[in-house]
Structure 1
Amino acid sequence: MYQYKTFISNNDVDFRFELKVTAIFRLFQDAAMLATQDSKADSISLAKRNIDWVITRMDVEIIRLPKCNEEITIITYPGKDLMMVYPRHFLIKDQQGTIIIRASSLWALIDATTRKVLTGRDVISRLEPETTKEELPLPSKILMPEEKYYFGQKVIRYSDIDFNCHMNNVRYVELLMDVNDFTFYKSNRPSLISLNYIKEIKEKDTVNVFTNGVNPQYVEVQVDNSPSFIGKVTFVER
């Protein structure tokens, strides 16, 4: 189990001086990277072997959003490996040790050239699985409702791309959050976010965003009329 303390930066808060939802996912990315460095299973080490980590699913439960300058503890640990899939859990605790955010995720290893999933169990050293009673159950498949409407379009640019040469995981969350406006977020916040990453999105791809506009709210991102990402968000009133 890997854990460390950090403070909420003013660069990562919104108009309420609370942690931005998108910043949660950046914190988790950083935690996963740090936790796997010693075993050489981090993204940088694997890139030297032409291997990439890709996230396939993630669920995040937000109990409370920490405030600017608040100290938090981020905890992450691997779950039991599944067939070609590597679970990872996350917890964020406040200074009193109370869990304020928790998440579960599923990851896969792919060949950086062919983009095909690597199935061998010896690709990386075995990550010793752990479990806690507080962890969020592993994420499941999201089914997009048939009734949906077109929200908008975006062309993926250089700044959207990460070192894996595809759209960064956090950019998907930004698309998800931007379906609603400032007025909506003044009186609502996400309490549960579920993400299914289906296909990679690359630079110069044109994405079309669809939503069903209810609570829970579903958002689908398509490329060439085919789903690349589906998200589901449940909101609570502030």
Structure 2
Amino acid sequence: MYQYKTIVSNNDVDFRFELKVTAIFRLFQDAALLATQESGTDSISLSKRNIDWVITRMDVEILRLPKCNEEITIITYPGRDLLMVYPRHFIIKDSNDKIIIRSSSIWALMDATSRKVITDRNIIDKLPPESSPDELPLPQKIEMPIDKTFIEQRKIHYSDMDFNRHMNNVRYVELLIDVHDFEFYKKYRPSFISLNYIKEIKEKETVSIYSSGINPEFIGVTNDDIPSFIGKVTFVEQ
């Protein structure tokens, strides 16, 4: 298992001086990159071979949000490969070795030119699978309810893009979080987030954002009425 310690930066906290929910996903992205560099299967190395890592599903359980300047340990490891997808798990612990956040995710490899999933199992060296009794089960498919409320439209700009030339994974989470305002988050915080990434979104495209339900709440993002992303969020009182 790959792990390292870091300090929660003041740039990554909210008005409660707690780690922003969106910052969790950036930490996971960084951890996955660092963990795969030695094997040459990190996103930067693979991009030179015209290959992209794409995330398809992710679940995140938030037991507690660490405070500004708090030391945390981030742990990540690959699960057992499943056909054409690659599971990866994440765990965040506090200085007392107590789990405060855990996550499971499913990734695929995509040809950067054709934008098609790569089915060749030998395209990268296999990562030895690991497991932990503390890991979160793998994420499942989310169905967006038929009855939903339109929230808003957003045009995707250059700053939303990553080096894969599509909207960054974390930006989807920001769209989800921004469905509610400051007054809402004074009372509630997410305790469990499930994400399904369905279709990539590119620069200059306009997406529509929908909401359904209360707790859990479903958030859907569509492009030309075609689903691009579905999130499911359970909230707890602060």
TM-score, length-scaled by structure 2: 1.00
Residue in 1 aligned with 2:185? 185
Residue in 1 aligned with 2:61? 61
Structure 2 stretches of 5 or more lacking a match? none
* C-alpha separation in 2, matches of 1:43 and 1:113: 15
* C-alpha separation in 2, matches of 1:2 and 1:124: 19
* C-alpha separation in 2, matches of 1:74 and 1:178: 26
| Ranges of 4+ aligned residues in structure 1 off by more than 2 Å | none
Instruction: Report the Cα offset of residue 213 of structure 1.
Output: 4.2
Residue in 1 aligned with 2:46? 46
* C-alpha separation in 1, matches of 2:65 and 2:79: 25
1:61-95 CA distances to partner (integer Å, 9 max, x unpaired)?
A: 00000000000000000000001000000000000
TM-score, length-scaled by structure 1: 1.00
* C-alpha separation in 2, matches of 1:146 and 1:215: 16
AA of the residue aligned to 1:140: Q
Residue in 2 aligned with 1:202? 202
Structure 2 residue 230 is matched with structure 1 residue 225: no
* C-alpha separation in 1, matches of 2:185 and 2:116: 39
AA of the residue aligned to 2:133: K
* C-alpha separation in 1, matches of 2:181 and 2:8: 24
Residue in 2 aligned with 1:176? 176
AA of the residue aligned to 2:162: D
State the secondary structure of the residue aligned to 1:34: helix
AA of the residue aligned to 2:8: I
* C-alpha separation in 2, matches of 1:213 and 1:196: 17
Residue in 2 aligned with 1:88? 88
Structure 2 residue 111 is matched with structure 1 residue 111: yes
* C-alpha separation in 2, matches of 1:48 and 1:152: 37
Residue in 1 aligned with 2:26? 26
State the secondary structure of the residue aligned to 2:170: helix
Aligned Cα RMSD in Å?
0.4
* C-alpha separation in 1, matches of 2:207 and 2:63: 31
Structure 1 stretches of 5 or more lacking a match? none
Indicate the percent of aligned positions where both proteins have the same amino acid.
73
How many residue pairs get aligned? The number is 238
* C-alpha separation in 2, matches of 1:26 and 1:202: 20
Residue in 1 aligned with 2:212? 212
Residue in 2 aligned with 1:11? 11
AA of the residue aligned to 1:42: D
* C-alpha separation in 2, matches of 1:160 and 1:20: 18
Structure 2 residue 122 is matched with structure 1 residue 127: no
